[in-house]
Amino acid sequence: MDFSKAIMAIYDMAYSGRDWSGALGCLLEPLQARNLVLYDTGDRRAVRYERHSADPELSRRPELIAEYNALIRPMGAQSFDAEGVVAIHERPAFSTLLDSDMWTLDAAHRSRPEIRFTRERLGLYRRCFVNLSEDPLSFVGLVALYAADRPGAPPASDRRALESVTPHLGKAMEIHRTLHALRARYRAVLSVLDMMDLPLCLVAEDGQVLVANRRARALFEARDGVWMDRQGRLACREDTSHDALRAAIRDTALTARGKGARRSRELIIARRGNPLPVYAIASPLRDADLELEPGLTGSLLTLIDGAQPIAANVGLVADAYGLTAAETAVAHLLIPGHSNAEIAERLGVSPETVKTQVSALLMKTQCRNRLAFVWRVFQFSPPVL
């Protein structure tokens, strides 16, 4: 039998994270079995089936699976399913075991509630179990079910086919569990980033955006100042901003790999449709504990969009560094990126006065430029929703 289609479908399901029903359907096609069902349980005494069935109709009717689970749950270790799990997981990995190898298939067997359910509600009877795990503490398996009106035992050809292809299924399930954990961590990281009221993204050394939070995605979609190109890399409207941003990401990513010394890079990105710029701060990123991916390094890019309302508590910085009331008023207008002339017009003072006040507040806060001051403000009051 040619199981190449089934094997490809199995690994596709493992990496895509989709439901296993499609892969099981491909595996079922060359078999005489009527259905294939997966189980994965940490306790052999408490088998519980999920919606991983090769039968599309059964997959679409989760109430039947829930009803069967409710039927066998009170039986505990006395259910035939639990007995089957114990027996099959005492056998070598990827070996098969027939129901007739464990039970006498007589009238008493057929009258059992779980057997009657599968016969009368699902039209299924005979079973063939497959152990899918080489780990004695992991109870993962496959059950092949045959039509209730089919005479005789499951064919030997099915058993040989299952023993040849299920090593791939077992390995794919291990991959799926690992990737499921990584996806959960990814979603956790993204949910935390989405709580930040600033555009944030994790960027690889070549400018490829690995993760972007809600505010960053909105900024990129506007395609004004900075966005993602077709390859998913960051790009800017002006060549000078584009080159400076790529250099900042590259330098901080090298620091993350231990091959550079730039702790951070700051730059101002001009925009086409708005006089207020986008501030960018690139910092080294390293997954030191290998929580997400071995060898993950890059740059954490913080983007401050002057055109968007920003919840910045300038008062904390003003109190900490002793800014005057006039300097504090100027500081509030520095955050969005207003020029000296714009600040002067808003406050009703001369541009020279604003220039003096900006110099004074930068000196008091020990910031070398406006962008460093903006970053200092957010260090005092992180913009968390």
Q: Could you tell me what percent of the chain has a pLDDT over 70? A: 85
What is the predicted pLDDT for the residue at 170? 82
Confidence of residue 328 (pLDDT cuts 50, 70, 90): very high
| Segment 31-44 mean pLDDT | 77
Confidence of residue 111 (pLDDT cuts 50, 70, 90): very high
pTM strictly above 0.85: no
Whether 214 contacts 308, CB under 8 Å: no
Tell me how far CA of residue 181 lies from CA of 108, 173, 185, 188, 319, in angstroms. 44, 12, 6, 11, 45
| Segment 354-376 mean pLDDT | 87
Tell me how far CA of residue 28 lies from CA of 40, 131, 178, 292, in angstroms. 19, 17, 25, 35
259 or 296, which is more confident: 259
Burial class (CB in 10 A: 0-12, 13-18, 19+), 14: buried
What is the predicted pLDDT for the residue at 57? 67
Which domains are present in the chain?
Answer: 4-184 (3.30.450.40), 196-308 (3.30.450.20), 310-385 (1.10.10.10)
| Segment 36-50 mean pLDDT | 64
The 10s digit of each residue's pLDDT in 194-233 is 887 788 888 988 899 988 888 899 999 988 889 999 889 9
pLDDT at residue 124 is higher than 80:
yes
CA dist., res. 277 & res. 342, Å (int): 14
pLDDT at residue 369 is higher than 80:
yes
- Lookup: tokens for 245: 């941003």
Per DSSP, the chain holds a count of helices (H) and strands (E) of 15, 12
Return the closest-CA partner of residue 209 out of 236, 188, 235: 235
Question: In the sheet that 96-98 helps form, which strands lie side by side, from edge to edge?
Answer: 49-53, 35-41, 139-147, 124-131, 96-98
What is the predicted pLDDT for the residue at 46? 53
Largest Cα–Cα distance in the chain?
100
43 or 160, which is more confident: 160
Most confident of the following: 175-179, 214-218, 371-375: 214-218
Return the closest-CA partner of residue 207 out of 235, 239, 233, 237: 233
The 10s digit of each residue's pLDDT in 84-109 is 778 888 888 888 999 999 889 999 99
Whether 146 contacts 152, CB under 8 Å: no
| Segment 181-187 mean pLDDT | 69
| Segment 73-87 mean pLDDT | 79
80 or 107, which is more confident: 107
Parallel, antiparallel or unpaired: strands 209-212 and 139-147: unpaired
pLDDT at residue 56 is higher than 80:
no
The 10s digit of each residue's pLDDT in 264-305 is 788 888 887 777 888 888 888 764 444 444 456 788 888 888
Confidence of residue 315 (pLDDT cuts 50, 70, 90): confident
Task: Give DSSP secondary structure letters for 270-322.
Answer: --SS-SS-EEEEEEEEE-TT-SS-TT-EEEEEEEEETTS-----HHHHHHHHT
- Lookup: tokens for 306: 């002057």
- Lookup: tokens for 278: 């986008």
Bridge partners (DSSP) listed for residue 41 = 139
pLDDT at residue 34 is higher than 70:
yes
CA dist., res. 336 & res. 116, Å (int): 71
Bridge partners (DSSP) listed for residue 197 = none
pLDDT averaged over the chain?
82
| Segment 9-14 mean pLDDT | 79
What is the predicted pLDDT for the residue at 352? 93
Residues listed for the chain: 385
Task: Give DSSP secondary structure letters for 339-369.
Answer: -HHHHHHHHTS-HHHHHHHHHHHHHHHT-SS
Phi and psi at residue 271, to the nearest 5°: -120, 160
What is the predicted pLDDT for the residue at 289? 44
